[in-house]
Structure 1
Amino acid sequence: MGCRSFREPVVVWLDPKHPEFGIRCIETVTDGLAALHRYDLGSARHGPSCRFWNEAAGALVRARAEPTADNIDRAHLAFERLVAEVAPVPPAIRRRVTPRSLLGLLTA
């Protein structure tokens, strides 16, 4: 892990409307920035969740420019909030479709 890695990955559903399509683990600031425009997160930029998208984008950009532990933690938290707001998946579905090796990373 590099200096811009999150302490824990953020698990993003590739398509929240079809959780069986799988998941992606976002482990770095760079991955987080790329994910802002993928996995149904990009649509949040102009929708009712735009505040979460803007907060995540700003925090991730700061963490990329100044990769301090505090900035990376703030970026991680902001990105997690965006994912929780835009792409929530019911716990029963999450447990059914998540590989066993990742179940410990997800909260019910």
Structure 2
Amino acid sequence: MGRLPNDPEPKAIPPGTPMTEARMDFGFRIYWTKMATKWDMARIREMKAQVIAVTQQPDFEKNLIERRFRVEGLDEQAHSGASLLALIDVLNALETYAANNG
């Protein structure tokens, strides 16, 4: 989908612009959307349950960068707290979409 003829040219982010929480959250959501749209509904539900279990641990925090939380069955990497919270939002959206368009 392209821009409409009267839409202004999107502004490029200048090099050296600091990463903000909003920009990082957007990036997490894009990444997880690309990953999770390949999963079937059973995997979406299983991963959602696993991620929620991690986010309910007493040592969980919504850190932006430090990758210290592992989710069983997700992948071999550790993830930041903010990334996992974004994943939950993406999985909720995919479940809602499937329920309304199934």
TM class by shorter chain equals 0.3 to 0.5
Mark the structure with the bigger radius of gyration: 2
- TM-score, structure 1 length as denominator? 0.31
